[in-house]
Structure 1
Amino acid sequence: MSNLANQLVIAEREEVSRAIRLLLAAPLISARTAPEAFDLVRRRRDPVEKWFDYYCGWSLVVEPRLGYARLAKVRLATDPTRPARRHRAGRAPFDRRRYTLMCVVAAELLAIPVTTIGLLADRVVQACAADPALPRFDTSSRAERMAFVDALRLLESFGAVEVVDGVTDAYVDSAAAKVLYQVDATLLMRLPAAPVGASQVAVPADEVPLLFPELLTRLSRERRYGDTDDEVSDVRRNLRLRHSVFRRLVEDPVVHRDELTPAELAYLESPTGGQLLRRAADQAGFLVEERAEGFMLVDPDGLATDSRFPDDSSNAKVAALLLLDGIASAPGPVAVEQLHGEADALLNRFPKWAKGYRGENGSGRLVADALEVLTAFGLVRVGGGVVRARPAAARYAVTRTSTDDVEDEP
């Protein structure tokens, strides 16, 4: 009987850790698109909810009847390395126009449980025309229709909108396309993770550019921590430190010591902080890697990430790995122009590789995309026309092999 009990305890711990990591990779899990993951989160809801609340201060909402689990991640700092991306070849990031249309579309969908793409487009046209702060939405423009479709497809991927009949992409080619949607208004309202509603920090439209950083701070302000460090108690200050530290550890690929505030670093290096770090990692199935330069939570199963490196899924990631070797081995900063030369050499050496970068300024675009990858993974810093390797870059040194064969791909 004791052996059976031990096996059940071990199985529960494994399921809880798996559910935690799945939610870190996908904070919105739908029973329709990921039934096994949703069922796991539903069954282990209580311990998973407590883990996120204690270590990260994040709330988890599980709706068994509606079929979704939503983890509301809140960060005090914005992260430009993780934009919304278009659901089409290339996975290009959203631009300002697409973000604007997504917000307008979401607002209009709240009032209509069922609609067609044409009726929805008409509502967006009217909403944009009624608000002087919004640019007009022109359905006769193919570029505008494509941006509109990208916004809709992102909401589809969240499960907030479901296609009943038709194909959303058909609207790109023709404004007369017929697509029928069913709207999940409850899930739509769960999408914003900010603890403060945007309507509560409303300012005149012409002042938004000047106050944008302040507005983001106000949107992410959490009352549980108090307003300022001078006014809060030690309990609240320690709570804020714990949450800010663990949010970075579970969200960022690597956390360097020089990126932490003195208070955050002191917390992690304290006996209490170190004990909590090891306990949290054990409960979530991570391995703690602590070095002189920083900290890293390693997921042996690769469940907790939505992006991998090294990875050959894109030319930019392959180029990033190859360029990183030269950046990390250089005695000092490397000029971006020097990387352009290395990218040219790669393109010439492998003529059948990276065909999308063969046009005008191909090497420049390849370097820009590769540096974007390396920056997102905390491996380099770019500024002033030079690239500096971060300590974590040493993990990815390229092992060279010699061969007499001519290779088509790196």
Structure 2
Amino acid sequence: MSSIAEQDLADRRARAIQQLLHTPLLHRDTPSFDTIATSEQWLKEWFLRTCGWILIVDYRRGMARLRKVTGWIDSTHPQRSLRTGKSTFTIRKYVTFCLTAAALGEHGRSRISLQDIAVAVSDLSVRAKVSPFTDLDHKDRQALVDVLMLLSALRVVTELDRTGRDYSVDPTGNVLYEIDERRLGQLLVAPLPPARCSTWQQMAADPHPQPSSGAPLDAHRLRQHLMRRLLDQPLCYLSDLPDDDAAAVSDHTEHITQWLSEAGLALEIRADAWMVVNRRAGTARSLRDGSNVSNCALLVLPQLTAQPSGWISATHLATLVDELLDEYPWWARSLRNDRNRADAVATVLRSFDLIRPQSDGWRIMPAAWRWAARVDPACLPPSSSPIPTQPAQDDLFSVEPTHQ
């Protein structure tokens, strides 16, 4: 194979890895699906070696499933309603999702109506001893519609026919769905399968827990632990690791850098943290995604890093966001009309671990200085007022970035 062909194959595999990380349950119409199918064995070995994750590819059904198990809870990326596009799933909606999946699994036939799903979810809510589901409650109907829209997007159910009004508005509305049992069975991802557990707590238990004595992880497990963190959250603060692991991470730079390079990603090593940067056009998340809220977050960052205490109150953050929008009155109208705009900006910053909640405000994390030094003026229209930026403050990082 020529060097050009080898590089092309490596690029396609890197895009496939990023696609699977971005969409762990994907379908035949995904651009990288053909590469996933033709490089199935290589990708399976890569994910198993680097992260201990299992990749399942079913070409006949047009499905690929990356079984990501991280071992920690991340509340910064909640599922959003496909019906509204903005509101996030509440605990009630997550419970409804689980009850709906259970109802589909117990149905025993390939087709089911929305009305039958509602009855089954109501019965299961009583059996599970949670707040009973009732189709007389408008919020419960909205929750069920949001869940079914998500399951439709995942191709777990497919709409075949519809009668009456929207179920969220009228409880007599009905929809006929076809169930894909294969995809339904792949929804649940846990360290241990249900067949080996008697309670859900056992399913959620880490199969490779940190030794109780405080002994460090062995070399390969530590590398996999770091890779899982970096691929799921592209920022790993050394202070979040156990002391012995934090002291040993420098011994694994070569392996981690090589693995990330195979995924089309680069590693930045700084005194406080390791960061993953996507330097190719791909599907990895980026703070510079072009949205108004992300651009606003970037432009507010220099103001945050200028806080001498490294902390800012929620009220002060809201004031900074309002002042920025006032300075550019013709920009970001959709964000300007959002009463929760400050919360939206804080959510973006928190999702990249640039700020963390503390007391009645936000603690500004060291990685914020990395982004604050690179505000792109092109994201705003011309204005007579200068764009609010600050000089680079990379002195917090005693180690220069390493790009490979």
Give the % identical residues. Answer: 26
* Aligned mates of 1:351, 1:11 — CA distance in 2: 46
* Aligned mates of 1:337, 1:238 — CA distance in 2: 45
* Aligned mates of 1:366, 1:331 — CA distance in 2: 24
- Report 1:175-324 matches (<5 A): 175-197=171-193, 200=197, 202=199, 215=201, 218-223=202-207, 225=208, 228=211, 237-270=218-251, 273-305=252-284, 307-314=285-292, 316-324=293-301
Change (3 A) 1:133 1:176: same
What is the identity, as a one-letter code, of the residue corresponding to 1:311? D
* Aligned mates of 1:60, 1:69 — CA distance in 2: 7
* Aligned mates of 2:384, 2:328 — CA distance in 1: 12
What is the aligned residue count?
A: 377
Does 2:95 match 1:100? Answer: yes
In the TM superposition, what is the alpha-carbon distance from 1:148 to its structure 2 partner?
Answer: 0.4
What is the identity, as a one-letter code, of the residue corresponding to 1:281? L
Specify which of 73, 80, 84 is matched with residue 89 of structure 1.
Answer: 84
What is the identity, as a one-letter code, of the residue corresponding to 2:282? L
Question: What SS does structure 2 have at the residue aligned with 1:228?
Answer: coil
Unaligned runs of 5+ residues in structure 1 are 204-214
Q: Report the counterpart of residue 212 of structure 1 in structure 2.
A: none
What is the identity, as a one-letter code, of the residue corresponding to 1:67? G
For residues 149-183 of structure 1, give each alpha carbon's deviation from its aligned partner in whole angstroms, at most 9, with x where no partner exists: 00111111111111122399922122222322110
- Report 1:9-408 matches (<5 A): 9-31=6-28, 33-34=29-30, 36-110=31-105, 111=107, 112-129=109-126, 131=127, 133-166=129-162, 170-197=166-193, 200=197, 202=199, 215=201, 218-223=202-207, 225=208, 228=211, 237-270=218-251, 273-305=252-284, 307-314=285-292, 316-332=293-309, 333-350=311-328, 353-354=332-333, 358=337, 362=339, 365-397=340-372, 398=375, 405=384
For residues 71-97 of structure 1, give each alpha carbon's deviation from its aligned partner in whole angstroms, at most 9, with x where no partner exists: 011111100001222113343211011
TM-score by length of 2: 0.84
Question: What SS does structure 1 have at the residue aligned with 2:291?
Answer: coil
Pick which of 72-81 and 120-129 moved more. Answer: 120-129
For residues 323-372 of structure 1, give each alpha carbon's deviation from its aligned partner in whole angstroms, at most 9, with x where no partner exists: 2221112222222222232233345445564456658xx3xx32222112
Q: Is the 8 A contact 1:319 1:366 kept in 2?
A: no
Q: Is the 8 A contact 1:15 1:44 kept in 2?
A: no
* Aligned mates of 2:163, 2:360 — CA distance in 1: 44
* Aligned mates of 2:135, 2:209 — CA distance in 1: 47
* Aligned mates of 1:337, 1:394 — CA distance in 2: 21
Question: What SS does structure 1 have at the residue aligned with 2:256?
Answer: helix
Q: Which has the higher helix share?
A: 1
* Aligned mates of 1:376, 1:350 — CA distance in 2: 25
* Aligned mates of 1:297, 1:257 — CA distance in 2: 14
* Aligned mates of 1:168, 1:87 — CA distance in 2: 21
* Aligned mates of 2:176, 2:249 — CA distance in 1: 52
Unaligned runs of 5+ residues in structure 2 are 387-404
Pick which of 258-267 and 80-89 moved more. Answer: 258-267
RMSD of aligned residue pairs (Cα, Å): 2.9
